[in-house]
């Protein structure tokens, strides 16, 4: 790990000013991903600006939905009574992620900015278009068994966000509040936060340099109340998803009035499926409908040599998640 | 949020608790704030930042005692405990947050000490395996680990125990499956899992009975 200077602050304005002064610096909150990467010299920063004392906490009901401060910890949000009651899928996505220790440390804002677990990205001995733009992508014809099948490009097939929370937030139309270097706030739907790799996989999201995530707001909805997050892994716990599904259904008298579907583990970015939602909406809540939705969700899949199994795995994960919410 | 750099979220005290050094570094800001247009802006009065570079003094409160070390900002809490304070009960396993061997409690919550900086943990209550027993009286979970033979090589044990104590306190050890899930951040290469589970569940049961 390179040496760095460390600057704690309790003010967003001050944090942003420090970052403007040293553009190569970075913010640090939970530190779990940051130190993990700094220890293997994957990233180097001359200065860490500690934002933990910023007043970005609190989980509160607003007219726009439940507003969660970006410095809330994964464990606190996952077990918060309002999150559990109104957004079970969000709660489950948090509590099925990482370990109890890491959930006590990691912040919500930091969670959204996790980096890929692609082995070629994390090992500087290999080329990687994400790490060194234009250097190549050995994953295309290499060990790609864990990598993405949706939203891929010839330049990158890594999951830009390998985690769980964003998948659930994506399903329920969460909105991020960001504050830029000029102290101005803007609201960005999470549906347009992550960027497909295309030819520029090093550009992962729409954050401007120095911009801070200050809060996440999730609108209230019946399909969010009746929701679940199903995560399939190589072992039962403490692993990244091979495939996961965040789903929500509003079912009235056997008919689906509204549906939300997002998939994790299979897309280069958290993957919302309007195709599946279209099939589900207005249809009877039956296995046949769920199977048709799952087929539609994976229709565009482009598996490589070792990850073809993910097509069926993701379909089955989605069907089972839909069955679960339909019967609750 | 309890992971504040400060003792209290509302406090504008610096990490070393010294009001004098706060006044020194904040002087410019306070001076500015005295000018009439700024007087009403509370945010300016309390805004605080202080850059630490190179080997610097840090105060860590470990097992109830405040101790000062000289270390660079990049020193992790784990390395500060082991290399600077010589509390080697906390183990370094993977050093990447994947094994749980370095689990300690900070402000009563379990964390992995390898993925946090020592400097970020000033002003907090840090408890390590050395702080669990009361004199010669072992913590009930330490007793239970001996009774159930919950270790073989012992390298993961302090992390398992620190995690287990928190798991019971959190109320996440009420069934075998729940306990397995909430202890999954602690890996045991010897495979003593059934015995670890038995020990944690026994203590959880004792606490449930009061």
* pLDDT at A121 > cutoff 70: yes
Number of Cβ atoms within 10 Å of the Cβ of A180: 15
Give the pLDDT of residue B209: 67
Number of Cβ atoms within 10 Å of the Cβ of B194: 12
Contact A73 B103 (CB under 8 A): no
> CA A56, A60, A61, A62 torsion: positive or negative?
negative
B74-115 residue pLDDT tens: 999 999 999 999 999 999 999 999 999 999 999 999 999 999
Shortest Cα distance, chain A CAs vs residue B8, angstroms? 9
What does the alpha-carbon distance between residue B162 and residue B127 come to, in Å, rounded to a whole number?
9
Shortest Cα distance, chain B CAs vs residue A108, angstroms? 11
What does the alpha-carbon distance between residue A102 and residue A30 come to, in Å, rounded to a whole number?
9
Radius of gyration for chain A, computed over Cα atoms and rounded to the nearest angstrom: 19
- What CATH number matches the domain at A223-326, 3.80.30.20, 3.30.390.50, 3.40.190.10, 3.30.70.1520? 3.30.390.50
Question: What's the mean pLDDT in A34-57?
Answer: 97
A9 touches B49 (CB < 8 A): yes
* pLDDT at A3 > cutoff 90: yes
Instruction: Enumerate the H helices of A180-286 as residue ranges.
Output: 222-225, 274-280
A123-147 residue pLDDT tens: 999 999 999 999 999 999 999 999 9
Contacts of B197 (CB under 8 A, 6+ apart): B176, B179, B180, B183
* pLDDT at A300 > cutoff 80: yes
Give residue B208's pLDDT band: very low, low, confident or very high (50, 70, 90): confident
**Optimal mutation site among B7, B41, B59, B74, interface A, most CBs of chain A within 10 A:** B74
Give the pLDDT of residue A182: 85
* pLDDT at B9 > cutoff 70: no
Give the pLDDT of residue A328: 75
Give the pLDDT of residue B210: 58
Give the pLDDT of residue B207: 78
Across A82-86, A134-138, A285-289, B29-33, least confident range: B29-33
What does the alpha-carbon distance between residue A124 and residue A135 come to, in Å, rounded to a whole number?
11
A247-273 residue pLDDT tens: 999 999 999 999 999 999 999 999 999
* pLDDT at B45 > cutoff 70: no
Residue in chain B lying closest to A39 (CA): B96
Give the pLDDT of residue A33: 97
Give the pLDDT of residue B47: 81
Give residue B34's pLDDT band: very low, low, confident or very high (50, 70, 90): very low
* pLDDT at B48 > cutoff 90: no
- Topology, domain A1-50: 3.30.43
Bridge partners (DSSP) of residue B62 are: B65, B126
Strands annotated E in chain A: 5-8, 26-28, 47-50, 59-62, 65-69, 175-179, 185-189, 212-218, 227-232, 243-252, 255-264, 271-272
Measure Cα distances from A217 to A70, A91, A288, B123, B128 in Å.
10, 14, 34, 32, 37
A87-101 residue pLDDT tens: 999 999 999 999 999
Cβ within 8 Å of A, B 96-125: 96-97, 100, 103, 109-112, 114-117, 119-120
Q: What percent of chain A has pLDDT over 70?
A: 100
* pLDDT at B176 > cutoff 90: yes
A159-191 residue pLDDT tens: 999 999 999 999 999 999 999 988 899 999 999
What does the alpha-carbon distance between residue B47 and residue A9 come to, in Å, rounded to a whole number?
7
What does the alpha-carbon distance between residue A1 and residue A106 come to, in Å, rounded to a whole number?
20
What does the alpha-carbon distance between residue A218 and residue A165 come to, in Å, rounded to a whole number?
12
Cβ within 8 Å of A, B 140-169: 163, 166-167
What does the alpha-carbon distance between residue B118 and residue B122 come to, in Å, rounded to a whole number?
7
Chain A contact for B25 (CB, 8 A cutoff): no
What does the alpha-carbon distance between residue A173 and residue B146 come to, in Å, rounded to a whole number?
50
Give the pLDDT of residue A136: 98
Chain A contact for B4 (CB, 8 A cutoff): yes
Question: What's the mean pLDDT in B145-151?
Answer: 98
Contact A14 B48 (CB under 8 A): yes
A113 touches A104 (CB < 8 A): no
Residue in chain A lying closest to B107 (CA): A104
Strands annotated E in A180-311: 185-189, 212-218, 227-232, 243-252, 255-264, 271-272
What residue spans define the domains of chain A?
A: 1-50, 223-326
Backbone torsions φ then ψ of A82, nearest 5 degrees? -70, -35
Contact A11 B3 (CB under 8 A): no
User: Model's pTM, two decimal places?
Assistant: 0.91
Contact B47 A1 (CB under 8 A): no
With CA atoms as reference, report the closest residue to A75 among A55, A112, A100: A100
Of residues B49, B97, B180, nearest to A32 (C-beta): B97
B186 touches B163 (CB < 8 A): yes
Q: Decide: residue A287, CB within 10 A, 0-12 exposed, 13-18 middle, 19+ buried.
A: exposed
**Optimal mutation site among A49, A102, A104, A215, interface B, most CBs of chain B within 10 A:** A104
């Amino acid at each position: 790990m390179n040496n760095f200077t460390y600057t704690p602050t309790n003010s967003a304005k001050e944090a942003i000013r420090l970052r403007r002064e040293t553009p190569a610096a970075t913010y640090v909150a939970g530190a779990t991903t940051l130190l993990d990467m700094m220890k293997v010299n994957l990233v180097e920063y001359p200065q860490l600006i500690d934002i933990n004392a910023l007043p970005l906490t609190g989980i509160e009901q607003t007219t726009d939905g439940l507003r969660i401060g970006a410095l809330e910890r994964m464990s606190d949000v996952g077990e918060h009574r309002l999150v559990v009651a109104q957004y079970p899928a969000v709660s489950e996505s948090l509590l099925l992620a990482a370990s109890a220790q890491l959930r006590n440390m990691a912040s919500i804002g930091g969670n959204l900015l996790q980096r890929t677990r692609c082995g070629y990205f994390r090992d500087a001995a290999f080329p990687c278009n994400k790490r060194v733009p234009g250097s190549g992508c050995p994953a295309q014809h290499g060990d790609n068994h864990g990598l993405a099948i949706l939203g891929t490009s010839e330049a990158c097939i890594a999951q830009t966000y390998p985690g769980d929370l964003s998948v659930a937030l994506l399903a329920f139309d969460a909105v991020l509040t960001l504050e830029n270097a000029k102290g101005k706030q803007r609201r960005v739907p999470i549906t347009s936060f992550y960027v497909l790799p295309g030819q520029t996989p090093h550009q992962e999201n729409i954050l401007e340099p120095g911009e801070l995530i200050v809060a996440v707001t999730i609108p209230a909805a019946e399909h969010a109340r009746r929701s679940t997050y199903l995560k399939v892994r190589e072992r039962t716990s403490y692993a990244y998803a091979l495939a996961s599904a965040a789903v929500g259904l509003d079912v009235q008298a056997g008919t689906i009035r509204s549906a939300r579907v997002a998939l994790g583990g299979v897309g280069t970015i958290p993957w919302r499926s309007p195709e599946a939602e279209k099939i589900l909406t207005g249809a009877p809540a039956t296995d046949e409908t769920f199977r048709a939705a799952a087929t539609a969700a994976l229709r565009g899949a482009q598996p490589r040599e070792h990850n073809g199994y993910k097509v069926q795995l993701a379909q089955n994960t989605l069907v089972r998640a839909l069955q679960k919410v339909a019967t609750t | 949020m309890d992971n504040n750099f400060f003792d209290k979220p509302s406090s504008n005290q610096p990490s070393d608790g010294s009001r004098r050094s706060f006044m020194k570094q904040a002087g410019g800001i306070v001076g500015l704030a005295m000018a009439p247009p700024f007087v009403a802006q509370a945010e300016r009065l309390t805004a605080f930042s202080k850059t630490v570079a190179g080997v610097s003094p840090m105060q860590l409160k470990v097992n109830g005692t405040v101790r000062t070390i000289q270390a660079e900002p990049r020193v992790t809490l784990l390395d500060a405990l082991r290399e600077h304070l010589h509390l080697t009960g906390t183990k370094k396993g993977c050093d990447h947050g994947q094994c749980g061997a370095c689990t300690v409690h900070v402000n009563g919550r379990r964390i992995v000490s390898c993925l946090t900086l020592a400097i970020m943990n000033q002003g907090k209550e840090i408890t390590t395996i050395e702080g669990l027993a009361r004199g010669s009286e072992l913590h009930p979970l330490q007793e239970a680990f001996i009774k159930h033979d919950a270790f073989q090589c012992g390298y993961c044990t302090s992390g398992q125990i620190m995690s287990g104590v928190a798991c019971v306190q959190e109320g996440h050890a009420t069934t075998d499956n729940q306990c397995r899930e909430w202890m999954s951040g602690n890996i045991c290469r010897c495979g003593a899992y059934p015995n670890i589970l038995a020990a944690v569940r026994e203590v959880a049961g004792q606490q449930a009975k009061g």
